[in-house]
Amino acid sequence: MKLGIVDMEMATAHHSVSLSALAHATNVDPNKYRFGLRQENFSMPALDEDAVTLGATAASRVLARTGKTAIRTLIFATESSVDQSKSAGVFAADLLDLSVNTRIVETKQACYAGTAALQMALGIVARNPQEQVLVIASDIARYAVNTAGEPTQGAGAVAMVVGADPQLLEIEPQTGVWSAHIDDFWRPNDLSTPLVDGARSLDAYLGAFTGAWEDYLAHGGAGLDEIDYFVHHQPFTKMAVKGHRRLVEHTGKLIDEQTVEPGLRYTTQFGNSYTASLYLGLLSLLHSDADLDGKRIGLYSYGSGATGEFFTGVVQPGYRRVIDSHYADAAINEREELSFEEYRALHAAHERGSKHDYQNPRVTRAPFRFVGVRDGARSYQRNTLPTDSGVISTINKS
């Protein structure tokens, strides 16, 4: 029985920030970001967006195609958690009108949690093949300003329906895993932005990759020459290229960089999306011109702290009848660009706790919005009314 991704969709945030504007305003050579990180823009949420609204938006798009009657489990992967106790999935399920007979949980291990959710989903559908699992990976990568991580911010969500007889991608059972306790990137409970040891994080990412690759081979994985394309976790686009070069160095084999390039398009535009990043890369490959019928894709997932996993999927013949690049193209083109000053004001305005009540200005055009906090509880709604106008005025109203 084949198990895997039946269908998947994405969402990103309302705003974008150009890295050349950030570079100019902070006296950095724009080529550092353009060529050194291979980033053009990053997505930035409006005040009435968060990981729940992005995730629910991606999920509503995929469920519009698959329907939701077979969904009995929702696994929400995020490191932009909105509550220390309640799963972001509970808020999302309410917005999506999922049945009350749904099992809901949130997973966390930095950017790796989306893959943990996918593997758990495969386990559930292996036991009950008539059921499907909704996996949502949704994150807002928000770093402190004037740090090396600032240009690698971003936001995005991917929702996947996981089940038997997948029309999109069969996930093969062989997998390689690697974990170690490493302080490369982490976010203590009382901080809203992560602490990062940049150089260490690059080493940890690459070390976990070769560790996971060797474990994959030891567990009966396919040979290098049997893998047609690679998609890597992309904290910034250049990192995937670095990962690819490390594999070449590690195996001593020549692997064409064109096996990686088609998976890089979206991160260049959206920036880091933590748990969603690998799967946005997969969508970028599936939406590309490459003819992928029957092709095997190698997927490398990495979460700081650290866990890495390498696994493979086989694209199902006829997959083009399932996928639709409409939302991704719209997300790239329709974001409202912020000036540097607007971006920094919005960055500061996101710094809010739950001790005081507040209502968010109406900005996002997405199907769901984060209304605000009252008595410590977050509220969300379907987005039916027109938006307020003007970015700065909406920041000031908050």
Give the catalytic positions in this structure.
79, 111, 233
In the list 24, 25, 35, 257, the residue contacting ligand CAA (rule: CB under 6 A) is 35
Reduced 3-state DSSP string for the chain:
CCEEEEEEEEECCCEEEEHHHHHHHCCCCHHHHHHHCCCCEEEECCCCCCHHHHHHHHHHHHHHHHCCCCEEEEEEECCCCCCCCCCHHHHHHHHHCCCCCCEEEEECECECHHHHHHHHHHHHHHHCCCCEEEEEEEEEECCCCCCCCHHHCEEEEEEEEEEECCCCEEEEEEEEEEECCCCCEECCCCCCCCEECHHHHHHHHHHHHHHHHHHHHHCCCCCHHHCCEEEECCCCHHHHHHHHHHHHHHHCCCCCHHHCHHHCHHHHHHECCHHHHHHHHHHHHHCCCCCCCCCEEEEEEEECCCEEEEEEEEECCCHHHCCCCHHHHHHHHHCEEECHHHHHHHHHHCCCCCCCCEECCCCCCCCEEEEEEECCEEEEEECCCCCCCCHHHHHHHC
Nearer to ligand CAA, 272 or 284 (CB): 272
User: Which residue, judged by CB position, is nearest to ligand CAA in the bound state?
Assistant: 36
Q: Which residues contact 362 (CB under 8 A, 6 or more apart)?
A: 48, 369, 383, 385, 386, 387, 388, 394
- The least distance separating ligand CAA from the CB of residue 74, rounded to whole angstroms, comes to 24
Interaction of residue 76 with ligand CAA, rule CB under 6 A: no
In the list 87, 107, 132, 152, the residue contacting ligand CAA (rule: CB under 6 A) is 152
In the list 76, 91, 178, 205, the residue contacting ligand CAA (rule: CB under 6 A) is 205
Interaction of residue 191 with ligand CAA, rule CB under 6 A: no
Interaction of residue 266 with ligand CAA, rule CB under 6 A: no
Interaction of residue 207 with ligand CAA, rule CB under 6 A: no
Other Cβ atoms closer than 10 A to 206:
20
Cα–Cα dist 163/310, whole Å: 20
> Which of these segments, 194-202, 209-217, 224-232, 288-296, binds ligand CAA (CB under 6 A)?
194-202
Interaction of residue 29 with ligand CAA, rule CB under 6 A: yes
In the list 279, 302, 310, 311, the residue contacting ligand CAA (rule: CB under 6 A) is 302
> Which of these segments, 15-23, 35-43, 171-179, 368-376, binds ligand CAA (CB under 6 A)?
35-43
Nearer to ligand CAA, 202 or 248 (CB): 202
Interaction of residue 270 with ligand CAA, rule CB under 6 A: no
Site string for ligand CAA, 43-62 (x = CB under 6 A): --------------------
- The least distance separating ligand CAA from the CB of residue 267, rounded to whole angstroms, comes to 10
CB 82 within 8 A of CB 52: yes
Beta bridge partners of 356: none
Nearer to ligand CAA, 169 or 196 (CB): 196
CB 71 within 8 A of CB 89: no
Cα–Cα dist 277/111, whole Å: 8
Nearer to ligand CAA, 38 or 352 (CB): 38
Interaction of residue 41 with ligand CAA, rule CB under 6 A: no
Instruction: With CB under 6 A as the rule, give the number of residues binding ligand CAA.
Output: 24
Interaction of residue 196 with ligand CAA, rule CB under 6 A: yes
- The least distance separating ligand CAA from the CB of residue 221, rounded to whole angstroms, comes to 22
Site string for ligand CAA, 157-186 (x = CB under 6 A): ----------------------------x-
Could you tell me the two tokens for 243? 């990962």
In the list 15, 61, 233, 347, the residue contacting ligand CAA (rule: CB under 6 A) is 233
Interaction of residue 148 with ligand CAA, rule CB under 6 A: yes
In the list 67, 198, 317, 376, the residue contacting ligand CAA (rule: CB under 6 A) is 198
> Which of these segments, 62-70, 145-153, 164-172, 250-258, binds ligand CAA (CB under 6 A)?
145-153
Footprint of ligand CAA on this chain (CB under 6 A)?
A: 29, 31-32, 35-37, 111, 148-149, 152, 185, 196, 198, 201-202, 205, 233, 235-236, 239, 272, 274, 302, 304
